[in-house]
């Protein structure tokens, strides 16, 4: 058997498959199932910044719900106040059920604020790390990319000041200079970055002439965006990298590791196939790794990253030109 163990943010993971934040991990029972299924680490469902602010007694007036693409429901203020205690209990209860599988708490936020102080409570409740899902969606034509990136960096800085836990920042791909931003995360004290979050998508219903939701789950060909940026950023941004979105198979997971990821997050494929899929992915990873002549992930991580490439330009425009001139 190949050794699938890996290190992420100083934590030892017995394998690189992390269950991503979602409704799968919003109860201790789900978290326990994730651990029993063989996950290398587990991210809890996110707590929203507003839930923390409500608990701290801060006004929620002016809440811009458009900024929260993966908000599942708008719930009452009282429920929000109570939900922070429930979240701490979720950490505590889950911790008792997962053995030595690292448990990562998650906060969905849009910018810096007093909510960051809650990171200390998360640490005290026993989480092994904190994932910050920074989900700011710019709505105004008067805010520059620079301002937004500064806001995102201040968010990381404040969380860093509030807790000693390892911090993993989860972002979407729409930033003008990802290498610069990701390097900034490392400067502000984050330990890893998750590339990428998959934001809620909407559609229009032509009968009702209203907005409608679309299938919230990813498809198996969505991992390429992560593959590209992990390949480009590996060893360049001073921070560990985790791939996310569209990882549905052992092959996709191994490709992301070859690009330079220390681990991968999976979510949709568990919704589609059930918890047993984690075991199947791990078995197949083992076969692939052995078939290409390796006995562990050492040596595989980053092997196909841009920094290790003979022709790094292929990771940029050249491949595109080749593809277009070849096909059309």
Ligand X SMILES: Cc1cc2nc3c(=O)[nH]c(=O)nc-3n(C[C@H](O)[C@H](O)[C@H](O)COP(=O)(O)O)c2cc1C
Judged by DSSP in three states, 135 sits in coil
Letters for 71-90 (x = contact with ligand X by CB under 6 A, - = none) are --------------------
Nearer to ligand X, 171 or 232 (CB): 171
Binding to ligand X by residue 218, rule CB under 6 A?
yes
Q: Residue 162 — φ and ψ, nearest 5°?
A: -85, -20
Nearest distance, CB of residue 149 and ligand X, angstroms: 20
Binding to ligand X, residues 23-42 (CB under 6 A):
23
Binding to ligand X, residues 91-110 (CB under 6 A):
106, 108
Which pair of tokens denotes residue 210? 């209203």
Which pair of tokens denotes residue 166? 């390892």
> Which of these segments, 3-11, 15-23, 176-184, 235-243, binds ligand X (CB under 6 A)?
15-23
Q: CA 75, CA 308: separation in Å to the nearest integer?
A: 49
Nearest distance, CB of residue 104 and ligand X, angstroms: 10
Nearest distance, CB of residue 233 and ligand X, angstroms: 18
Binding to ligand X, residues 131-160 (CB under 6 A):
133
Q: CA 128, CA 42: separation in Å to the nearest integer?
A: 10
Give me the DSSP letters along 223-254: THHHHHHHHHHTTTSSSEEEEESS--SHHHHH
Nearer to ligand X, 266 or 289 (CB): 266
Nearer to ligand X, 4 or 266 (CB): 266
Q: 190 near 156, Cβ under 8 Å?
A: yes
For ligand X, how many residues bind (rule: CB under 6 A)? 23
For residue 204, list its beta bridge partners: 211
Judged by DSSP in three states, 2 sits in coil
Judged by DSSP in three states, 195 sits in strand
Nearest distance, CB of residue 68 and ligand X, angstroms: 10
Nearest distance, CB of residue 263 and ligand X, angstroms: 13
Q: CA 46, CA 267: separation in Å to the nearest integer?
A: 14
Nearest distance, CB of residue 322 and ligand X, angstroms: 28
Q: Spell out the SS3 assignment of 81-119.
A: HHHHHHHHHHHHHHHHHCCCCCEEEEEEECCCCHHHHHH
In this chain, which of 8, 18, 21, 101 binds ligand X, going by CB under 6 A? Answer: 21
Number of Cβ within 10 Å of residue 89's Cβ equals: 12
Binding to ligand X, residues 300-319 (CB under 6 A):
none
Give the H/E segment covering residue 269: helix 268-273
Letters for 233-272 (x = contact with ligand X by CB under 6 A, - = none) are -----------xxxx------------------xxx----
Nearest distance, CB of residue 317 and ligand X, angstroms: 27
Q: CA 190, CA 200: separation in Å to the nearest integer?
A: 25
Number of Cβ within 10 Å of residue 287's Cβ equals: 11
Rama region for 213: left / alpha / beta (φ>0; ψ in -120 to 50; rest): beta
Letters for 155-194 (x = contact with ligand X by CB under 6 A, - = none) are ---------------x------------------------
User: Residues in the site for ligand X, rule: CB under 6 A?
Assistant: 20-23, 45-46, 70, 106, 108, 133, 170, 197-198, 216-218, 244-247, 266-268
């Amino acid at each position: 058997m190949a050794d699938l163990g890996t290190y992420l943010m100083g934590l030892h993971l017995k394998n690189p498959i992390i269950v991503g934040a979602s409704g799968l991990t919003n109860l201790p029972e789900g978290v326990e199932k994730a651990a029993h299924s063989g996950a290398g680490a587990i991210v809890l469902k996110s707590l929203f910044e507003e839930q923390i602010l409500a608990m701290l007694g801060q006004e929620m007036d002016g809440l811009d719900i458009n900024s929260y693409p993966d908000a599942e429901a708008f719930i009452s203020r009282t429920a929000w106040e109570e939900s922070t205690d429930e979240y701490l209990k979720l950490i505590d209860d889950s911790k008792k059920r997962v053995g030595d599988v690292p448990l990562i708490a998650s906060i969905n936020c849009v910018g810096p604020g007093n909510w960051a102080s809650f990171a200390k409570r998360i640490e005290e409740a026993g989480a092994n790390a904190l994932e910050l899902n920074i989900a700011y969606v710019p709505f105004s034509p008067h805010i520059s990319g620079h301002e937004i990136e500064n806001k995102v960096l201040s968010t990381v800085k404040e969380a860093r000041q509030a807790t000693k836990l390892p911090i993993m920042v989860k972002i979407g791909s729409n930033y003008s200079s990802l290498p610069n931003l990701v390097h900034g995360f490392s400067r502000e004290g984050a330990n890893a970055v998750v590339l990428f979050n998959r934001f809620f998508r909407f559609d229009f219903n032509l009968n009702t002439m209203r907005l409608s939701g679309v299938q919230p789950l990813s498809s198996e060909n969505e991992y390429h965006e992560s593959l590209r940026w992990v390949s480009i950023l590996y060893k360049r941004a001073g921070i560990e990298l985790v791939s996310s979105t569209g990882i549905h198979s052992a092959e996709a997971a191994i490709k992301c590791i070859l690009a330079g990821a220390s681990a991968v997050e999976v979510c949709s494929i568990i919704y589609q196939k059930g918890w047993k899929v984690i075991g199947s992915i791990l078995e197949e990873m083992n076969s692939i790794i052995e078939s290409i002549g390796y006995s562990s992930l050492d040596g595989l991580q980053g092997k196909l990253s841009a920094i290790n490439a003979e022709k790094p330009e292929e990771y940029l425009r050249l491949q595109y030109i080749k593809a277009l001139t070849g096909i059309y």
